[in-house]
Amino acid sequence: MPEQKLIIAPSILSADLAHLQEEVSSIEPYADWLQIDVMDGHFVPSISFGAPIVRCIQTALPLDIHLMVSNPAERIDEFLEIGAANITFHAEAVAHTEHRKELIQRIRAGGATAGIAINPETSLDSVGDVLEEIDLLLVMSVHPGFGGQPFIEHVLSNVRTARSAFPDLMIQMDGGINKDTASECVKAGANNLVSGSFIFGASDRKMAINSLRQS
Ligand code: DX5
């Protein structure tokens, strides 16, 4: 199997939202994806932004929509219409297998890849019903809702297990990822890293992103 390229996806949650376009432009030459944290204030405590804001962003980067919402089925169409490259929903928000499969099918039919996310307290087994079907598994390394939180180490065991069972699966990690934790994530088997405060808090964003690639 060819070495899977490591994807770096800056998360705009930690960007200066009053200057969002400049912030995106500042990382665009160095990043692979752009992660958009959509939060509804119900599934997670925070409210962030939705399709109207995302529609304003001018970028060539593939948009990676992370739906931290209680009812992802209601949000999919608007992000497909914007041209999302990937849409990830949370296993904790969609319990039933048939509903999960329906969402995956809808996302794919709309031209995007489909991901499922698990929070740190959620077992990998709980998504065993769709791991063969999805394009991306997102293993959260923080409790979702806020940027700048510390990395939760124990989730790495889920990454190791998923990688050994699914050598070709895109495994994304998100939360507390910086130049120190990135190497642990890659060693465990992650090949897609989301990072917010480490990148947007850096004065030299090119260096920050490249330091994640060195991992
Ligand atoms: C947390 C979000 C993460 C967060 C990452 O709920 O899903 O994407 O923005 O931010 P850092 O990298 O600062 O932990």
Give the CATH number, domain containing residue 137: 3.20.20.70
- Residue 28 tokens read as 């665009």
Confidence at residue 214, expressed as pLDDT on a 0 to 100 scale: 84
What's the mean pLDDT in 153-172? 98
Q: What confidence tens digit (pLDDT) does each residue in 182-208 have?
A: 999 999 999 999 999 999 999 999 999
Give CA–CA dist 2/69, Å, rounded.
Answer: 35
Q: Is 149 in the pocket of ligand 1 (CB under 6 A)?
A: yes
Do the domain assignments include residue 86?
yes
Domain count, the chain: 1
pLDDT band at 1 (very low <50, low <70, confident <90, very high): very low
pLDDT digits 0-9 by tens, 35-48: 999 999 999 999 99
Residue owning the nearest CA to atom 4 of ligand 1? 147
Structural domain contains residue 70: yes
Within a domain: 2: no
- Pairing between strand 136-140 and 170-174? parallel
pLDDT digits (tens, 9 = 90+) for 137-159: 999 999 999 999 999 999 999 99
Q: Which domain holds residue 202?
A: 7-213
The CA distance from 13 to 121, in Å, is 22
From atom 3 of ligand 1, which residue's Cα is the shortest distance away? Answer: 175
Going by the DSSP 8-state scheme, the letter that residue 192 receives in this structure is E
Q: Which of 7, 8, 11 to mutate to test the pocket of ligand 1 (most atoms within 8 A of CB)?
A: 11
- How many angstroms separate the alpha carbon of residue 12 from the centre of ligand 1? 9
CA 147, 153, 158, 164 torsion: positive or negative?
positive
